[in-house]
């Protein structure tokens, strides 16, 4: 009995203590917590990801957000309340490893706090792309190797083609020399850097004469030109693709050309190109770009009036005796694409050169014209068109040239021909420096038409200066026609000499009726 009393004396207090302790344990709060959403633990963030990095901290049930503090690398960072959650937007973090810690303060003497850690790294340093100012290719046809460096890159593409990496260097082989090389270098974090450079392919030069599409069908005009080629007096023929009337000389498959009924198919393009190439003669396709009454008339009558250059009053421009609907709108994407489509088709067919003419706005005060959709200056529109054109024809193996007014060297805004701008993208520029077209006193020449050597030499000196240091060459149009005075062998030869003394061995002779003074050209 005494032993039982002793056991009870010991057991009852012990049970009491245990009951009391259990009650305390039952009353004690559970450890506080908070969940974190955002970049995963161990994530590496590139510049773009770091810029839009966000962490969203959501306190556990019953936890007052005011008990929550957030630090990055031990420093408290500001938070923004979004309902029950806290939003953290880290800003200005240096590259490297960082630690985000979310701490929940204890609630009361019996409370217990909690914490959550997350590590991440920031890498905003993009690779460094280095390319030469200009790359050179020996020919427009055949594979082209691109080399450069991209320090820090794990992958490089060149015009979309994956490059091979060797340390910081890279190489890629393209099927042909493009107009522009664009390099994109990416590192493991996803940072990227771009580099761009022009590809220069030197034109082999040419001594050419002009003939229209329909003129080629006449043996009386065609055969003397072929004879000049056989004698080595010329090595190129400029044959019209689309002329001043807007007509296309061969059986073009360009849909819009057929839709507006511009296709006339005067000559068999395959036959002509094969014939001239067999003689080792270049074929230069002339496209009259923005003087196009066929397209202009069709566009105006079919709900595309924005394709047409208009007067200030909103009527189709037809001044300077050009005729109604004579000029299309150089700001129109559809008009530009039409000419580029013709140029690309011709390059694919085997034309060695695409030479734009009337790659300009109409002459006259700019205030007298209305260009629907105009953005920027007409000069910028023309330069952009030349750039887009070369990017289209270059992969097809053709050089791109632009015919320009002689006055454009000193007065670019009169017809929207910015020679330094065009020189960035045209493979060659063909200034029309016909002596009969200069006014008295130009370049200090009292009567230019009577001084063909002097006016050509002095005017081309300006173009030589502008082209110096660019990738373009100057190949002038020279006069082989009579206007105001008779022009013969001596006058044509004088112009050729004036061009040559500016370092220009290439030229194109113009005669609207395609009758030339071959004796003015020395056989080679």
User: Residue 301 in contact with residue 309, Cβ under 8 Å?
Assistant: no
Q: What is the helix (H) or strand (E) element at residue 389, kind and residue range?
A: helix 378-393
C-alpha to C-alpha distance for 441 and 421, rounded to whole angstroms? 27
Of 331, 346, 329, nearest in space to 254 by CA: 346
Q: Any residues with CB less than 8 A from the CB of 189 and at least 6 apart, and which?
A: 44, 45, 46, 123
Q: Any residues with CB less than 8 A from the CB of 19 and at least 6 apart, and which?
A: none
Q: Given a cut of 60, is residue 20 above it in pLDDT?
A: no
Query: What count of other Cβ atoms lies within 10 Å of the Cβ of residue 285?
Result: 28
User: Residue 107 in contact with residue 67, Cβ under 8 Å?
Assistant: yes
pLDDT, residue 8, reads 42
Task: Tell me the per-residue pLDDT of 34-92, one tens digit each, with 9 for 90 and over.
Answer: 899 999 999 999 999 999 999 999 998 888 898 999 999 999 999 999 998 999 999 88
C-alpha distance from residue 237 to each of 39, 94, 206, 488 (Å): 65, 63, 9, 20
User: Residue 475 in contact with residue 433, Cβ under 8 Å?
Assistant: no
pLDDT, residue 178, reads 93
Of 466, 398, 422, nearest in space to 177 by CA: 398
Average confidence (pLDDT) over 494-503: 98
C-alpha to C-alpha distance for 237 and 286, rounded to whole angstroms? 10
Task: Tell me the per-residue pLDDT of 434-449, one tens digit each, with 9 for 90 and over.
Answer: 999 999 999 999 999 9
For 497, the 3-state DSSP assignment is helix
C-alpha to C-alpha distance for 434 and 427, rounded to whole angstroms? 22
What's the N-to-C CA distance of the chain in angstroms? 142
CA atoms within 13 A on the CB side of 205: 7
Which neighbouring-strand residues pair with 85? 82
φ/ψ of residue 409, rounded to 5: -65, -30
Q: Given a cut of 50, is residue 140 above it in pLDDT?
A: yes
C-alpha distance from residue 312 to each of 307, 316, 368, 382 (Å): 15, 10, 5, 21
Of 359, 412, 411, 390, nearest in space to 471 by CA: 390
Which residue is it, tokens 């055969």? 223
Instruction: Characterize 37-62 residue by residue with b for buried, 16 or more Cβ atoms within 10 angstroms of its Cβ, and e for exposed.
Output: ebbeeeeebbbebbeebebebbbeee
pLDDT, residue 113, reads 80
Which of these ranges, 5-14, 106-115, 369-378, has the smallest mean pLDDT?
5-14
Q: Given a cut of 80, is residue 25 above it in pLDDT?
A: no
Which residue is it, tokens 């061969």? 250
Q: Given a cut of 70, is residue 402 above it in pLDDT?
A: yes
Task: Tell me the per-residue pLDDT of 238-263, one tens digit each, with 9 for 90 and over.
Answer: 999 999 999 999 999 999 999 999 99
pLDDT, residue 106, reads 86
- 23 falls in which pLDDT band (50, 70, 90)? very low
Which of these ranges, 19-33, 142-156, 383-397, 499-513, has the smallest mean pLDDT?
19-33
Task: Tell me the per-residue pLDDT of 292-337, one tens digit each, with 9 for 90 and over.
Answer: 999 999 999 999 999 999 999 999 999 878 999 999 999 999 999 9
For 334, the 3-state DSSP assignment is helix
Average confidence (pLDDT) over 123-136: 95
User: Residue 29 in contact with residue 112, Cβ under 8 Å?
Assistant: yes
Of 266, 246, 268, nearest in space to 257 by CA: 246
φ/ψ of residue 289, rounded to 5: -75, -75
C-alpha distance from residue 3 to each of 10, 11, 505 (Å): 11, 12, 131
pLDDT, residue 58, reads 93
pLDDT, residue 108, reads 67
pLDDT, residue 321, reads 85
C-alpha to C-alpha distance for 255 and 267, rounded to whole angstroms? 19
Q: Given a cut of 60, is residue 2 above it in pLDDT?
A: no
pLDDT, residue 19, reads 41
Domains, the chain, ordered by start: 32-122 (2.60.40.1220), 128-201 (2.60.40.10), 207-520 (3.20.20.80)
User: Residue 357 in contact with residue 289, Cβ under 8 Å?
Assistant: yes
pLDDT, residue 109, reads 65
- Residue 145 CA, distance from chain mean position: 20
Per-residue tokens: 261: 């009924």
Task: Tell me the per-residue pLDDT of 202-223, one tens digit each, with 9 for 90 and over.
Answer: 999 999 999 999 999 999 999 9
Per-residue tokens: 284: 């230069």
User: Residue 66 in contact with residue 107, Cβ under 8 Å?
Assistant: no
C-alpha distance from residue 452 to each of 19, 207, 292 (Å): 121, 18, 31
C-alpha to C-alpha distance for 327 and 120, rounded to whole angstroms? 61
Q: Any residues with CB less than 8 A from the CB of 297 and at least 6 apart, and which?
A: 324, 325
User: Residue 140 in contact with residue 397, Cβ under 8 Å?
Assistant: yes
Of 384, 413, 387, 416, nearest in space to 400 by CA: 387
Q: What is the maximum span of the chain, computed from C-alpha positions, in angstroms?
A: 153
Q: What is the helix (H) or strand (E) element at residue 163, kind and residue range?
A: none
Average pLDDT, the chain: 93
For 500, the 3-state DSSP assignment is helix
Q: What percent of the chain has pLDDT over 70?
A: 93
C-alpha to C-alpha distance for 389 and 180, rounded to whole angstroms? 12
Q: pTM of this prediction?
A: 0.81
């Amino acid at each position: 009995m005494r032993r039982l009393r002793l056991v009870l004396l010991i057991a009852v207090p012990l049970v009491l203590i245990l009951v009391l302790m259990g009650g305390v344990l039952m009353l004690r709060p559970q450890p506080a917590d908070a969940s974190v959403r955002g970049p995963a633990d161990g994530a590496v963030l590139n510049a773009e990801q770091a810029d839009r990095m966000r962490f969203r901290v959501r306190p556990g049930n019953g936890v007052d957000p005011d008990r929550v503090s957030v630090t990055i690398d031990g420093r408290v960072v500001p938070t923004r309340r979004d309902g029950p959650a806290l939003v953290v937007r880290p800003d200005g973090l240096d590259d490297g490893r960082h630690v985000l810690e979310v701490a929940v303060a204890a609630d009361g003497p019996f409370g217990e706090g909690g914490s959550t850690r997350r590590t991440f790294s920031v890498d905003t340093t993009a690779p460094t792309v280095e390319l030469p100012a200009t790359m050179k290719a020996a020919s427009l046809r055949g594979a082209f190797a691109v080399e450069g460096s991209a320090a820090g890159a794990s992958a490089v593409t060149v015009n979309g083609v994956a490059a091979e990496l060797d340390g910081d260097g890279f190489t890629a082989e393209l099927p042909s020399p493009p107009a522009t090389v664009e390099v994109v270098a990416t590192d493991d974090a996803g940072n990227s850097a771009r580099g761009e450079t022009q590809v220069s392919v030197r034109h082999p030069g040419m001594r050419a004469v002009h003939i229209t599409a329909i003129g080629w069908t006449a043996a009386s005009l065609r055969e003397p030109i072929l004879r000049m080629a056989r004698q080595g007096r010329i090595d190129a023929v400029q044959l019209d693709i689309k002329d001043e009337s807007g007509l296309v000389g061969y059986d073009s498959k360009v849909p819009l050309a057929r839709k507006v009924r511009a296709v006339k198919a005067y000559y068999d393009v395959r036959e002509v190109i094969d014939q001239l190439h067999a003689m080792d003669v270049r074929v230069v396709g002339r496209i009259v770009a923005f003087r196009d009454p066929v397209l202009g008339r069709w566009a105006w009558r079919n709900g595309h009036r924005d394709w047409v250059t208009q007067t200030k009053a909103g009527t189709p421009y037809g001044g300077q005796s050009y005729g109604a609907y004579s000029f299309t709108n150089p700001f129109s994407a559809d008009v530009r694409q039409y000419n580029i489509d013709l140029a690309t088709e011709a390059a694919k067919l085997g034309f060695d050169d695409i030479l734009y003419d009337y790659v300009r706005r109409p002459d006259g005060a700019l205030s007298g014209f209305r260009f629907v959709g105009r953005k920027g200056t007409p000069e910028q529109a023309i330069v952009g068109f030349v750039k887009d054109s070369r990017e289209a024809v270059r992969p097809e193996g053709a050089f791109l040239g632009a015919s320009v007014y002689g006055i454009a060297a000193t007065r670019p805004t009169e017809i929207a021909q910015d020679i330094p701008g065009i020189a960035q993208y045209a493979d060659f520029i063909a200034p029309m420096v016909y002596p009969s077209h200069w006014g008295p006193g130009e370049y200090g020449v009292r009567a230019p038409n009577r001084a063909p050597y002097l006016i050509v030499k002095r005017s081309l000196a300006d173009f030589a200066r502008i082209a110096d240091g660019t990738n373009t060459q100057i190949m002038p149009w020279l006069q082989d026609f009579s206007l105001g005075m008779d022009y013969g062998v001596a006058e044509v030869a004088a112009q050729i000499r004036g061009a040559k003394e500016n370092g220009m061995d290439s030229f194109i002779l113009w005669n609207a009726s395609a009758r030339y003074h071959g004796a003015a050209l020395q056989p080679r």
